A and B are shown apart, each in its own frame.
Chain A
Amino acid sequence: MDTISHLALGFGVAFGTDNLLYCFIGALLGTLIGVLPGLGPLATVAMLLPITFSLPPTGALIMLSGIYYGAQYGGSTTAILVNLPGEASSFVTSLDGYQMARQGRAGPALAIAAIGSFFAGCVATLAIAILAPPLSQLARQFGAPEYFALLMLGLVASVVLASGSLIKALAMVLLGLLLSSVGMDVAGYSRMTFGILDLDDGLDFVTLAMGMFGIAEILRNLSTPQEETSVLKEKIRGLMPTRRDLRDAGPAIVRGTALGTVLGVLPGGGALLASFGSYMIEKRVSKEPETFGKGNIRGVAAPESANNAGAQTSFIPLLTLGMPGNAMMAMMMGAMMLLGVQPGPLVMTQQPDLFWGIVASMWIGNLMLVIINLPLIGIWVRLLRVPYSIMFPAVLLLCGIGVYSIGNSALAVLEMALFGILGFMLFKLRYEVAPLILGFVLGDLIETNLRRALLISNGDFGILVKSPISIGLLGFAALLLVITIFPKVRSAREVAFQEES
């Protein structure tokens, strides 16, 4: 059994004292920042990226995935305790989670979220171990045209799944691609650097991500009128779910996990679709759908499991094909490239201990979340009571120190501030930033592969649709676009995104 020996290798790496520590620190810090209201997982991961850069690649990536799960779980904690979801996917959790909290059942809600996430994490880890080898085998046959087609599929998926107008999402992809071409190209020409030597290396990914997510999110929060946040006044009685809770939530956890595992693998999939979908399924199969939104434990269990399963299986296309399915994975990809690891089919064969170490650490990270978070709920609640007027300058300072420390560059701090203002403007004008990040991360790869393919064919675009693999990938991308433009799907999509906002 290859799967078992792979996992054994991975656990051997992940259980090393150093890596275990990195995983723990990552999960703890991720939760700590992720709990802060108004900071979603993207902002959290962007903010904490710089601290991983001094570690060896395996340790850094293990810590990073710890941060990611911590941030996800921290977001759920905020959604349950203060009804302030940091991002769309934990919005679903807040529907029933906050109601449970108001009924004095915050403890069981948080516990079931952790248990569901852990179960989902176990299944998803197994899914990665089984699916990754054949997928990367397939990807190893990819030439430049096939890889180009795959990247196109990723971009199309990000456009289709963006909320709001398709055209605006397309514009954001183009802007991301344009920003990625700043700096030297393969032949050594400086492009759009305005003579600034620092820009020859291109715009820095972390600076962009921290600006667009971290700073822009602070500006967003500052510009919306401050509501009295109603942090739970009631004392949290009892943490453990009752036996009845577990019986109720069990099937929901299994269903949520199944849906999340599948959706996470698809391009553009991941946490958001999974949590919405699973909530809808639970409501559909329930005998008493009217109790949803009023504190039904299944309304917490299903989306949290789905969310976590999707968050984890969305690593599959990134680690095996080198294609990030969503903005979070694009950020992971950017971080990996900064650490000198090129995500793609070769990682598994050339750096098996890195690959399987990360996979195993996902499972360990999930276990740690259960262990860390349940006893620490009291601390998270206290953290939530910190007034925003004290919290946001501190967050801003963390961003400033973080981005400065990457290359000891004061210019980077200014760049981040400008990207923050741009990100805030785009938000105000209803442009979504996720496709921009995806375009930015994939820009270089798209250019390299397209240039290479067309060089081989001497300028004939026909080469892009020559092999069955590229026809299949581009066909799928075209299908996604056509489906979205259909009026019926379009209105359904609008309804779905309406619910979220």
Chain B
Amino acid sequence: MRVKSHSDLLGGLTLFAIAAGSIMALSDLPSGTTGAMGPAYLPRAFAAGLGVIGIGQSVYAFMRNGPPVGNVPLRPIIMVLVALGVFAAGIERLGLLLSSFALLAIASAALPGRLEASSILRILIVSAVGSAAAALLFVVAFGLPMPAFPRL
């Protein structure tokens, strides 16, 4: 037995995991009957369908060659997640100016390639300009209800 298609296996297992997780999360809700459906009737059916396809895809992965997954660079994913996470954590207390500066600066590091001192300086300048523009545009001009500056 050799895995012939890693993408099918990974996809199949992911689907199966989502389905299994959903069915577990639904475990204490009633299904009801077909004539009088309970809250879990259809979600269970959807999850069951998803799980069957997940198993099917996983089995299929041993039988037929599929496209390779290709390399998944982790850096952009992590950087984008961190950038948005910091933004979300900061927006209410630190205000739009600082949190968007953080988002822009962190996200700029998501591009592959080594960060030289000169490019770091450039990133900081561009991020500062960008966050000032964002604060002016969204808080001052559009009047969105979010603070621009840190709440002391």
Which A residues form the contact surface with B (CB < 8 A)?
A: 167-168, 170-171, 174-175, 177-178, 181, 185, 187, 189, 191-192, 194, 215, 218-219, 222-223, 226, 388-390, 392-394, 396-397, 400-401, 404-405, 408, 410-411, 413-414, 416-417, 420-421, 424-425, 428-431, 447, 450-451, 454-455, 457-461
Instruction: Find out whether the CB atom of B104 lies under 8 angstroms from the CB atom of A394.
Output: yes
The distance in angstroms between the C-alpha atoms of A393 and B102, with both chains bound, is 10
Instruction: Find out whether the CB atom of A455 lies under 8 angstroms from the CB atom of B84.
Output: no
Instruction: Find out whether the CB atom of B49 lies under 8 angstroms from the CB atom of A223.
Output: no
Instruction: Find out whether the CB atom of A411 lies under 8 angstroms from the CB atom of B11.
Output: no
Q: Knowing A394-B104, A417-B85 touch, does A174 contact B50 (C-beta < 8 A)?
A: yes
Q: List 29 A-B contacts (CB under 8 A).
A: A167-B56, A168-B57, A174-B47, A174-B49, A174-B50, A177-B42, A178-B19, A191-B26, A222-B80, A222-B110, A222-B111, A223-B73, A223-B76, A392-B107, A393-B103, A397-B100, A397-B103, A397-B104, A397-B130, A401-B134, A401-B138, A404-B91, A405-B146, A411-B88, A417-B88, A425-B14, A428-B70, A428-B72, A461-B34
Within B1-23, which residues are at the interface with A (CB < 8 Å)?
7, 10-11, 14-15, 18-19, 22
How far apart are B114's CB and chain A's nearest CB, in angstroms?
13
B18 proximity list for chain A (CB < 8 A): 175, 178
Q: Which 9 A-B pairs have the closest CB atoms?
A: A459-B35, A189-B39, A222-B76, A413-B88, A459-B34, A393-B107, A429-B11, A417-B84, A410-B88
A401 proximity list for chain B (CB < 8 A): 96, 100, 134, 138, 144, 146
How far apart are A351's CB and chain B's nearest CB, in angstroms?
28
Q: Which residue of A lies closest to B75 (CB)?
A: A222
The distance in angstroms between the C-alpha atoms of A260 and B135, with both chains bound, is 42
How far apart are B74's CB and chain A's nearest CB, in angstroms?
10
B63 proximity list for chain A (CB < 8 A): none
A177 proximity list for chain B (CB < 8 A): 42, 46
Specify which of A189, A428, A454 is in contact with B29 (CB 8 Å cutoff).
A189
Instruction: Find out whether the CB atom of B53 lies under 8 angstroms from the CB atom of A170.
Output: yes
Within B32-50, which residues are at the interface with A (CB < 8 Å)?
33-40, 42-43, 46-47, 49-50
Instruction: Find out whether the CB atom of A219 lies under 8 angstroms from the CB atom of B76.
Output: yes
The distance in angstroms between the C-alpha atoms of A178 and B47, with both chains bound, is 7
A215 proximity list for chain B (CB < 8 A): 80, 84
Q: Knowing A189-B29, A396-B84 touch, does A455 contact B36 (C-beta < 8 A)?
A: yes
Is B127 interfacial (CB 8 A cutoff)? yes
Which B residues form the contact surface with A (CB < 8 A)?
A: 7, 10-11, 14-15, 18-19, 22, 25-26, 29, 33-40, 42-43, 46-47, 49-50, 53-54, 56-57, 67, 69-70, 72-73, 76-77, 80-81, 83-85, 87-89, 91-92, 96, 100, 103-104, 107-108, 110-112, 126-127, 130-131, 134, 138, 144-146
The distance in angstroms between the C-alpha atoms of A215 and B83, with both chains bound, is 12
The distance in angstroms between the C-alpha atoms of A462 and B85, with both chains bound, is 50
- Which has the most chain B C-beta neighbours within 10 Å: A168, A394, A400? A400
The distance in angstroms between the C-alpha atoms of A185 and B131, with both chains bound, is 41
Instruction: Find out whether the CB atom of A185 lies under 8 angstroms from the CB atom of B46.
Output: no
How far apart are A460's CB and chain B's nearest CB, in angstroms?
8
B103 proximity list for chain A (CB < 8 A): 393, 396-397, 400
Q: Knowing A181-B42, A396-B83, A396-B103 touch, does A451 contact B37 (C-beta < 8 A)?
A: yes
Instruction: Find out whether the CB atom of A420 lies under 8 angstroms from the CB atom of B80.
Output: yes
B38 proximity list for chain A (CB < 8 A): 187, 189
- Which has the most chain A C-beta neighbours within 10 Å: B38, B92, B96, B100? B100
B54 proximity list for chain A (CB < 8 A): 171
Specify which of A178, A397, A424 is in contact with B134 (CB 8 Å cutoff).
A397
